[in-house]
Chains A and B, each alone.
Chain A
Amino acid sequence: MLRFLVRRSLGAIVIILLISAITFFLFFALPSEPALMSCGKNCTPDALAVINKNLGLDQPVPVQYWHYMQGIFMGRDFTVGHCPAPCFGYSFSNQQPVWGTIVDRFPTTLSITLGGAAVFLVVGVGIGMIAAAFRGTWIDKFFSSLSLVGGALQIYFVGVIALAVLVSGLHWMDNPAYHPITEDPVKWFTGMLIPWLVLSIIFIANYSRMTRSQMVEQLGEDHVRTARAKGLGRRTVFFRYAWRGALAPIVTIFGIDLGSLFGGAIITEFTFSLHGLGRLAVSSVSETDLPTLMAVMLVGCTAIVVANIVVDAAYAVIDPRVRLA
């Protein structure tokens, strides 16, 4: 297991480095000029040159990349002062240390992701299991159609309706906002509740469908029949045998979804005026803010790669065949 983790981690580092290089070099293929962001209204080529020098954009791209990567591991000196490792540089658009911004935004993304994931995993898998347990009955049909409808919905649509009804119409809830859980757990929860519910709607559909079909498949498996033939109770057979078998593919998809959510839930963040990594990613692209873009990309990639490793590890825990193979 340890060797497996070490091997995977090394591979992950190579992948992340590769992606960082690709991102960095692709950025310079963008048809836009970062200096324009800081060039005021009466911008001239002279002024642009000054800004390019300030940003270090007058150096060759590979040199810039080397400095950037050096900064992450060893820190870096800027005219503003020393930037300790991990140094992702200073934002082109607001001259802030990027790392500080990331550290500030990540808790929001973490909250959206973990809360939303908890909701869609529990509700989605739960619905799928109920549908599977009652397969063929009206309960199954009801939940199947419900998840079909859910799957067709979009966050920006449901989100706006949820706000209009729950917040503006019925006054049941406050406007969604992020409050650190460390400061006020109740506000954190109520502030994130609508985003969680709305975000989870589209996922619930997926998870319930997948869970149902996996469960139905597992319930037809020989080993489930064996378990019944041993005299085990219906519930034991359902949860201990069928569900265990259905778990592996669900965990796989869950890991991938979780990883991509850690990179930022863009539409959710915009719909509910939240400040997570997704919004940061979008603004860094539109503002041609290379250091921020790089940092968001790296965090996102790391999240996805780590999620993949965790999924593989979880897979090994779930399925002993993988563990020892």
Chain B
Amino acid sequence: MTATTPFLSVRDLYVRFATEDGTVKAVDGLSFELERGRTLGIVGESGSGKSVTNLAVLGLHDPRTTEIEGEILLDGQELTGAPESALEKVRGHKAAMIFQDSLTALSPYYTVGRQIAEPFRKHTGATRREARLRAVEMLKRVGIPNPALRVDDYPHQFSGGMRQRAMIAMALVCDPQLLIADEPTTALDVTVQAQILDLLKDLQQQTGSAIILITHDLGVVAHTVDELLVMYAGRAVERGTVREVLGAPRHPYTWGLLGSMPRLTSDVEEPLSPIPGAPPSLLAPPPGCPFHPRCASVAAVGGDRCRTERPELPAGRGAACHLTPERQRAIFAGQIKPRLR
């Protein structure tokens, strides 16, 4: 390992599920990197493999039905194929996760405080008392009023926003260096969404941890993340800084995502323009570029390339598309941007 080894490095990750209908290729050769103190956004429709990827980082898939290949290095530690005991030490300690629906993601049977304290005791060997104090402190840090009292409440006694804060508190209780937030704000209303995102940012500034923010909502990432990875059908199709990707997206799929995003400025009457068609079956993904059945630019590439040849994602800034970068820029500037206003 050299000093330049990134904090988190995912190389050629493949995740396959064995199902009754066949093998689902949920993640199909994905690579990305993330440094401490940085935030990576991963966007894509549901089923694009973004959640699967992150569950794979923590080894949360059922090994009996899941096949994982590739390399996941967290702070130099190989996580793929690591024994459960090793993974247990990483989970909630070095790397923690925030889930989407805090109502179902928290156990209804135990108090919020207990659920926060639990990983703390497990990973630090703290006593019950210490862990409880820590839970109160964490609740305070995530902005729960009256934390000493609320620590004994059950999740259903919390509002949705508070529950999400509690879950963040739970994830951060051991000061993880990597925080994976899987759609942390989807179930919340807009004002609360903003609060939660601000909270995440504040906490990151305090702890310097790396964050992966998974979302299907480009509006969420704009002010939160540093880099952005766009996923489609288990692959990364575009990568760049958030400014690059949102300012000058290159992949037709990213254009589609932007087009389907509601804006506060837009007229309510104006219909959204969703991407035509449906995400491909991961059991039998289409040959060539997996996006080609829904892509408006197949003709612009010309020939059979889109149908037969799989486009590669170049290192650094770029998109996995057969259009040349010049054509990408031209089409966005000429046809897509005006419609986005």
Q: Do chains A and B touch in the complex (CB under 8 A)?
A: yes
Q: Which residue numbers of A lie inside 8 Å of B, CB to CB?
A: 136, 221-234, 241, 244-245, 318-321, 324
For residue B223, give the distance in angstroms from its CB to the closest CB of chain A: 26
- A317 and B101 CA atoms in complex are apart in Å by 25
B123 at the A interface (CB under 8 A): yes
- A33 and B294 CA atoms in complex are apart in Å by 84
| Per-residue interface assignment for chain B, residues 159 to 199, with 1 indicating a CB less than 8 Å from any chain A CB and 0 otherwise | 00000000100100000000000000000000000000000
Q: Are A318 and B109 closer than 8 Å at their CB atoms?
A: yes
Which residues from 103 to 119 on chain B have a C-beta closer than 8 Å to any C-beta of chain A? 104-109, 118-119
- A321 and B88 CA atoms in complex are apart in Å by 30
Q: Are B105 and A230 closer than 8 Å at their CB atoms?
A: no
Residues in A with CB closer than 8 Å to B167 are 226
Tell me the dominant secondary structure on chain A's binding face: helix
For residue B79, give the distance in angstroms from its CB to the closest CB of chain A: 13
Residues in A with CB closer than 8 Å to B156 are 320-321, 324
A137 closest partner in B (C-beta): B64
For residue A325, give the distance in angstroms from its CB to the closest CB of chain B: 8
Q: Are B88 and A231 closer than 8 Å at their CB atoms?
A: yes
Contact partner of A225 among B90, B93, B105, B108, CB < 8 A?
A: B105
Residues in A with CB closer than 8 Å to B123 are 231
| Per-residue interface assignment for chain B, residues 81 to 102, with 1 indicating a CB less than 8 Å from any chain A CB and 0 otherwise | 0001000111111001101010
Residues in A with CB closer than 8 Å to B330 are none
- Give how many B residues have a beta carbon under 8 Å from the other chain's beta carbons: 29
Q: Are A226 and B99 closer than 8 Å at their CB atoms?
A: yes
**A223, A229, A233, A321, most chain B CB atoms within 10 A:** A229
Contact partner of A230 among B104, B119, B154, CB < 8 A?
A: B119
- A225 and B107 CA atoms in complex are apart in Å by 10
B103 closest partner in A (C-beta): A222
- A224 and B99 CA atoms in complex are apart in Å by 12
B157 at the A interface (CB under 8 A): yes
Q: Are B109 and A320 closer than 8 Å at their CB atoms?
A: yes
For residue B170, give the distance in angstroms from its CB to the closest CB of chain A: 7
Residues in B with CB closer than 8 Å to A324 are 154, 156-157
Instruction: Give 13 A-B pairs besides A226-B106, A318-B109 with Cβ atoms closer than 8 angstroms.
Output: A222-B105, A229-B92, A229-B96, A229-B99, A230-B92, A230-B96, A231-B88, A231-B89, A231-B122, A241-B107, A244-B107, A320-B154, A324-B157
- A224 and B96 CA atoms in complex are apart in Å by 15
B58 at the A interface (CB under 8 A): yes
Residues in A with CB closer than 8 Å to B96 are 229-230
Residues in B with CB closer than 8 Å to A244 are 107, 109
A233-B104 contact, Cβ under 8 Å, with A245-B109, A321-B156: no
- A321 and B158 CA atoms in complex are apart in Å by 12
A228 closest partner in B (C-beta): B60
- A230 and B108 CA atoms in complex are apart in Å by 16
Contact partner of B101 among A222, A227, A241, A320, CB < 8 A?
A: A222
- A283 and B96 CA atoms in complex are apart in Å by 66
Q: List 28 A-B contacts (CB under 8 A).
A: A221-B104, A222-B105, A224-B107, A225-B99, A226-B97, A226-B167, A227-B118, A228-B60, A229-B60, A229-B92, A229-B99, A230-B92, A230-B96, A230-B119, A230-B122, A231-B92, A231-B93, A231-B119, A232-B92, A232-B122, A233-B122, A241-B107, A241-B109, A319-B108, A319-B109, A321-B108, A321-B156, A324-B156
For residue B85, give the distance in angstroms from its CB to the closest CB of chain A: 8
Residues in B with CB closer than 8 Å to A223 are 104-108
A136-B92 contact, Cβ under 8 Å, with A227-B107, A319-B109: no
For residue A114, give the distance in angstroms from its CB to the closest CB of chain B: 27
Contact partner of A231 among B64, B90, B107, B108, CB < 8 A?
A: B90
- A93 and B96 CA atoms in complex are apart in Å by 73
- A233 and B85 CA atoms in complex are apart in Å by 8
Residues in B with CB closer than 8 Å to A228 are 60, 91
Q: Are B91 and A229 closer than 8 Å at their CB atoms?
A: yes
- A232 and B173 CA atoms in complex are apart in Å by 14
A225 closest partner in B (C-beta): B60
For residue B319, give the distance in angstroms from its CB to the closest CB of chain A: 32
- A324 and B89 CA atoms in complex are apart in Å by 36
For residue B35, give the distance in angstroms from its CB to the closest CB of chain A: 22
- A228 and B106 CA atoms in complex are apart in Å by 12
For residue A219, give the distance in angstroms from its CB to the closest CB of chain B: 9
Q: Are B92 and A233 closer than 8 Å at their CB atoms?
A: no
Residues in B with CB closer than 8 Å to A245 are 107, 109
Q: Are A231 and B109 closer than 8 Å at their CB atoms?
A: no
A227 closest partner in B (C-beta): B107
A325 closest partner in B (C-beta): B156
**B64, B109, B167, most chain A CB atoms within 10 A:** B109
Please provide the 9 A-B residue pairs with the shortest distance between their CB atoms, ordered closest to farther.
A231-B92, A231-B91, A230-B92, A230-B119, A222-B104, A223-B107, A320-B154, A229-B97, A222-B105
- A316 and B236 CA atoms in complex are apart in Å by 48
**A221, A224, A228, A234, most chain B CB atoms within 10 A:** A228
Which residues from 29 to 77 on chain B have a C-beta closer than 8 Å to any C-beta of chain A? 58, 60, 64
Residues in B with CB closer than 8 Å to A234 are 84
Residues in A with CB closer than 8 Å to B99 are 222, 225-226, 229
Residues in B with CB closer than 8 Å to A320 are 108-109, 154, 156
